């Protein structure tokens, strides 16, 4: 879990299609051997690709008893898809390829994209109207074809890149075209710059790797070197270890990134200028100028992390595995040093059942602080690489501490009035300069209700950072709840805005109930000089882009609706009454007829701006099938469609899909909760007690599930199933108290009492459905993953009068078992809130005795440890709870993908759901509760 951020951040470690040109003006994804983007010098992106929220998961459950009937249905489904989706042999072949690719491929242990954080389906695509006489009726989704259809939906993007010498040339992106690594211009088909031919790169790599098949590539800021990642090994949610090769474009030569230990590189990043590069190996930070390599730190080990995050900082603070930052001019870098020596170690095992040569399991030792335990000791350093001080090229590798010039040693930043070092969390570090002189540092106390913002200097003679602003919710009548960790601020130079005579920055700050854009100037100002937005909506942290040339700020907000994001702009010039202008939906007529169709524009959006912010990729994310197009910040008539997903639309038109409804549901406190329902394609609102309702819940603090983002998944197939016609399902989603974008009071209501209000609000939603005439009030179930598994468990524990069946995947069952930074943010420490920890744990078996309950977990879960499930299982087993079942998945982490087991997980849930209600309604014999015949006969 990751607090208010999206919980599962996908690390796209495989190949990613780039865009190619065609004469239609619509860019379609190339299906050749392209290379993916490497996380190096990324452009500013609104949100993350995983927010597109496609489930790539499905259930193979099939209640038909006849294998022949099953095969006949699968075969007919495929043929029908092809007939509806294609009108020519070429498209037929491409869809067949997609089928062959996905039908027989099992998921490996992919990065953590578990469904506990992915928003449910939010649209109906197509219609269930009968086709003209003589033609087949539209098909329904099955558990077999839902993954095929969802995989057809493309999320094409562009890898924006800055020009090395002329910032006025904007709209450049990098791709592979015509077997060459190339820079193109989005608005000029004749502008092209070839970096290297693919054949030359492969030839240069000969002898360095057995087979040159890079997973990703990037280019230095001066376009003189290319970096290829040729091997990736996942570490935790965001972090990897990789093997890297450097290609000299001019000389057409290839060398390893480092001559020593090149196969376990933990982090790589180009400097924003020139071709300096930093990397981390064995928890030590290095820098290189291609001629010389300097080891910046030498104390890295299993306890000390330099320039990268340890587990808890990666998961709960930074949202990334990196903790080092180049200055804008590339002359300095700042980095965190994390000391985990006093952090307790959690141990679990990997069994490798697919490897017969492994007899003893691997012991995994992980520094993992649990509530009340020591946190990592964090410190901040700055370092100026001393390449020019290296005396001779005969010494290609050196250490920073070997350099006699003290200017080129790492220097530790100290802080005015700091928190206790044992209870200090550094949440953000940002350079507020075009050079390398000013740093803004965000620091919180252990329980994250007290924030101090420091302004520091990188000058070795002025290393004490001063407090410039502060917020403490536990004082001055505050609510005492947590302060959200936000993205780094955006630098605004003096005179880039009218009347701005001193440097400043833009930050996303709470202003009353909601988060808004604030402009601070000068840098040490304790209060904003201006609020750029206001109102009953949130500006989304991490979505802000500043166009210096035009003094315009772009951002995402929930101004239109709390269930969807839209793209907006506001000018910093002019009078104080700044008008916010919407960039989404686009208003011009599109080159794509599909984008022009009714309903294809209204919904939720994302955007990625070019290096100069003059162009942006507008990503329509739902509720209809997504599309992507490029627009200009200056020319309102410019459009370039990247992908309108018309092929996917044609395929979807052959299906009668579930429909969706958005609405409000009141909880017991009178709050209006966002809700949505997914109805079967043949939904009959005039039916009597026909439908059961499955609640899909997450419910974690500042999360959101009721979102107008496209998805097609297991829930879609469940709502569509007609194999058990007397047990059809509606899938319901309710965002109760604690969730985001409904104001601070609504969000912080769960402070110090997790697991009380969340299940109560789910129960309120269930009672709403129970009163509907078409709902069977006795068929109400709930399921969730991670925090959703916790909410599910608490709902069964406390509200089994409503929820008769619960299914929890990888749940927390006691907050004493989860990590410090997440848990203490919401619960305080056990010393401060011992009673709250007790009441928030799953420890009452009464509700479980009255219901059916399934729990599933991966044995290799580094995030929510199997310890949680085993503790609850022991409680239920020792009390002979009859309706409890459990499944574990060997070596799977929190995403439960290892050995392709995820279909099994969903099949088990499907079977459990149907079987449980069959047993409850038919009073199945229960051997735990049978009467003693001796006692019966003696009466």
Q: How far apart are CA 90 and CA 42, in angstroms?
A: 36
Rounded to whole angstroms, the Cα distance separating 534 from 649 reads 38
CA-only gyration radius of the chain, Å: 28
Decide if 243 contacts 229 (C-beta within 8 A): yes
Write out the two tokens for 416: 């005015």
State the number of CA atoms in the 13 A half-sphere of 675 facing the CB. 23
Contact status, residue 521 vs residue 503, Cβ threshold 8 Å: yes
Residues in the chain: 939
CA 858 – CA 868 distance, rounded (Å): 11
DSSP track, 510-575: EETTEEEEEEE-STT-SS-SEES--SSSPBPTT--EEETTTTEEEEEEEEEETTEEEEEEEESSS-
Burial class (CB in 10 A: 0-12, 13-18, 19+), 542: middle
| φ, ψ for residue 652, nearest 5 deg | -65, -30
Q: Which two tokens stand for residue 300?
A: 């890295």
Q: How far apart are the first and last CA of the chain?
A: 56
- Give the C-alpha separation, 505 to 433, whole Å: 10
**3-state SS, one letter per residue, for 281-349:** ECCEEEEECCCCEEECCCCCCCCEEECECCHHHHHHHHCCCECEEECCCCCCEEEEEEECCCCCEEEEE
| Tokens of residue 215, six digits | 């997973």
DSSP, res 314? I
254 DSSP β-pair partners: 247
Rounded Cα distance, 257 and 291, in Å: 11
Q: Distances from the Cα of 927 to the Cαs of 357, 407, 880, 883, 934, in angstroms?
A: 42, 77, 10, 11, 16
Please pick, among 786, 814, 892, 904, the residue that the annotation labels catalytic. Answer: 786
Distance of alpha carbon 266 from the chain centroid:
20
Tokens 């106390």: give the residue. 445
CA-nearest of 543, 506, 534 to 521 is 506
409 is catalytic: no
Structural tokens at position 575: 């009078």
786 is catalytic: yes
| Adjacent-strand bridge partners of 673 | 665
> Which residue out of 449, 861, 891, 893 is catalytically annotated?
861
Measured CA to CA, the distance from residue 743 to residue 512 in angstroms comes to 9
CB 17 within 8 A of CB 31: yes
Distance CA 511, CA 513 (A): 6
**Cα angle: 749, vertex 755, 760; to 5 degrees:** 75
- Distance between CA 737 and CA 747 in Å, rounded? 6
The dihedral over CA atoms of 270, 276, 280, 285, expressed in degrees to the nearest 10, equals -130
Question: What residues form DSSP beta bridges with 931?
Answer: none
The two tokens of residue 367 are 């520094």
Helix (H) or strand (E) holding 149: helix 146-151
Catalytic residue among 800, 894, 904, 916: 894
Cα separation of 551 and 496, whole Å? 6
Q: Three-state DSSP class for 164?
A: coil
Tell me whether residue 861 is one of the annotated catalytic residues: yes
The torsion angle over the Cα atoms of residues 822, 827, 829 and 833, rounded to 10 degrees, is -170
- CA–CA dist 307, 585 (Å, integer): 40
C-alpha to C-alpha distance for 480 and 478, rounded to whole angstroms? 5
CA proximity to 57, closest of 892, 614, 931, 708: 892
Residues marked active site are found at 786, 861, 894
């Amino acid at each position: 879990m990751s607090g208010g951020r999206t919980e599962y951040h996908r690390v796209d470690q495989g190949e990613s299609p780039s865009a190619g040109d065609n004469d239609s003006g619509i860019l379609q994804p190339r299906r050749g051997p392209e290379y993916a983007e490497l996380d190096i010098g990324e452009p500013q992106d609104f949100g993350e690709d995983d927010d597109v929220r496609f489930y790539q998961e499905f259930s193979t459950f099939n209640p038909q008893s006849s294998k022949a009937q099953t095969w006949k249905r699968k075969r007919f489904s495929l043929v029908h898809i092809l007939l509806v989706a294609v009108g020519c042999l070429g498209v037929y072949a491409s869809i067949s390829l997609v089928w062959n690719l996905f039908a027989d491929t099992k998921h490996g242990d992919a990065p953590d994209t578990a469904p506990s954080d992915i928003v449910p389906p939010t649209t109906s695509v197509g219609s269930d109207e009968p086709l003209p006489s003589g033609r087949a009726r539209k098909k329904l989704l099955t558990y077999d074809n839902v993954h095929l259809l969802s995989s057809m939906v493309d999320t094409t993007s562009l890898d924006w890149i800055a020009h090395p010498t002329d910032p006025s040339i904007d709209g450049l992106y990098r791709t592979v075209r015509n077997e060459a690594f190339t820079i193109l211009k989005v608005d000029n088909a004749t502008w092209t710059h070839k970096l290297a031919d693919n054949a030359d790169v492969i030839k240069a790599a000969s002898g360095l790797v057995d087979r040159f098949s890079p997973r990703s590539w990037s280019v230095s800021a001066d376009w003189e070197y290319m970096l290829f990642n040729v091997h990736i090994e996942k570490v935790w949610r965001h972090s990897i270890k990789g093997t890297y090769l450097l290609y000299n474009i001019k000389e057409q030569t290839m060398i390893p990134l480092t001559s020593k230990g090149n196969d376990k590189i933990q982090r790589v990043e180009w400097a924003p200028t020139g071709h300096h590069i930093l990397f981390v190996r064995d928890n030590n930070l290095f820098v290189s100028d291609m001629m010389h390599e300097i080891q910046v730190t030498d104390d890295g080990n299993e306890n000390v992390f330099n320039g990268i995050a340890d587990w808890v900082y990666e998961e709960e603070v930074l949202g990334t595995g990196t903790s080092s930052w180049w200055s804008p001019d590339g002359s300095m870098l700042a980095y965190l040093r994390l000391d985990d020596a006093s952090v307790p170690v959690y141990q679990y095992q990997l069994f490798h059942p697919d490897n017969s040569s492994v007899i003893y399991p691997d012991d995994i030792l992980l520094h993992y602080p649990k509530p009340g335990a020591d946190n990592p000791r964090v410190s901040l350093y700055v370092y100026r690489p001393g390449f020019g001080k290296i005396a001779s090229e005969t010494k290609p590798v050196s250490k920073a501490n070997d350099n006699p010039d003290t200017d080129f040693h790492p220097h530790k930043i100290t802080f005015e009035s700091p928190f206790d070092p044992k209870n200090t969390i550094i949440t953000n570090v940002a350079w507020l300069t075009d050079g390398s002189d000013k740093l803004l540092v965000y620091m919180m106390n252990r329980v994250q209700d007290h924030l101090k913002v420091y302004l520091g200097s990188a000058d070795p003679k002025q290393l004490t950072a001063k407090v410039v602003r502060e917020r403490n919710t536990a004082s001055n009548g505050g609510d005492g709840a947590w302060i959200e960790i936000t993205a780094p601020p955006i630098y605004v130079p003096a005179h880039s805005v009218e009347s701005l005579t001193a440097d400043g920055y833009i930050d996303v700050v709470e202003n009353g109930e909601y988060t808004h854009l604030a402009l601070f100037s000068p840098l040490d100002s304790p209060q904003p000089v201006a609020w750029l937005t206001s109102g009953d909506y949130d500006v989304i942290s991490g979505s802000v882009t500043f166009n210096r040339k035009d003094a315009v700020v772009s951002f995402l907000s929930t101004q239109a609706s709390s269930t969807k994001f839209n793209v907006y702009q506001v000018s910093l010039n002019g009078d104080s009454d700044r008008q916010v202008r919407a960039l989404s939906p686009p208003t011009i007529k599109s080159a794509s007829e599909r984008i022009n169709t009714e309903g294809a524009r209204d919904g939720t959006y994302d955007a990625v701006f070019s290096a100069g912010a003059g162009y942006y990729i507008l990503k329509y994310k739902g509720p209809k099938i997504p599309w992507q197009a490029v627009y200009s910040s200056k020319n309102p008539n410019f459009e370039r469609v990247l992908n309108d997903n018309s092929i996917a639309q044609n395929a979807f038109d052959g299906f009668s899909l579930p429909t969706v409804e958005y609405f409000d549901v009141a909880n017991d406190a009178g709050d209006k909760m966002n809700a949505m329902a997914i109805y079967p394609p043949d939904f009959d609102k005039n039916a009597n007690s026909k439908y059961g309702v499955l609640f899909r819940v997450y419910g974690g603090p500042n999360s959101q599930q009721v979102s107008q983002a496209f998805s097609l998944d297991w829930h879609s197939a469940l709502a569509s199933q007609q194999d058990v016609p007397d047990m059809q399902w509606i899938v319901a989603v309710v965002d109760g108290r604690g969730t985001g974008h409904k104001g601070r009071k609504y969000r912080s209501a769960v402070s110090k009492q997790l697991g009380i209000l969340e299940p109560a609000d789910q129960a309120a939603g269930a009672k709403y459905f129970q009163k509907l005439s078409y709902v069977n009030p006795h068929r109400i179930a709930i399921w969730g993953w991670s925090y959703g598994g916790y909410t599910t468990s608490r709902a069964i524990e406390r509200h089994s009068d409503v929820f008769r069946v619960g299914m929890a995947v990888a749940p927390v069952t006691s907050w004493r078992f989860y990590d410090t930074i997440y848990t203490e943010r919401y619960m305080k420490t056990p010393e401060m809130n011992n009673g709250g920890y007790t009441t928030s744990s799953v420890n009452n078996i009464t509700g479980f005795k009255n219901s059916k309950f399934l729990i599933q977990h991966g044995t290799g879960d580094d995030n929510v440890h199997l310890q949680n499930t085993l503790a609850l299982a022991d409680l239920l087993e020792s009390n002979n709870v009859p309706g409890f079942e459990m499944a574990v998945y060997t070596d799977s982490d929190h995403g439960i993908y290892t050995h392709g087991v995820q279909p099994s997980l969903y099949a088990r849930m499907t079977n459990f759901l149907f079987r449980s209600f069959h047993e409850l309604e038919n009073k199945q014999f229960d051997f735990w509760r049978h009467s003693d015949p001796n006692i019966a006969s003696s009466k």
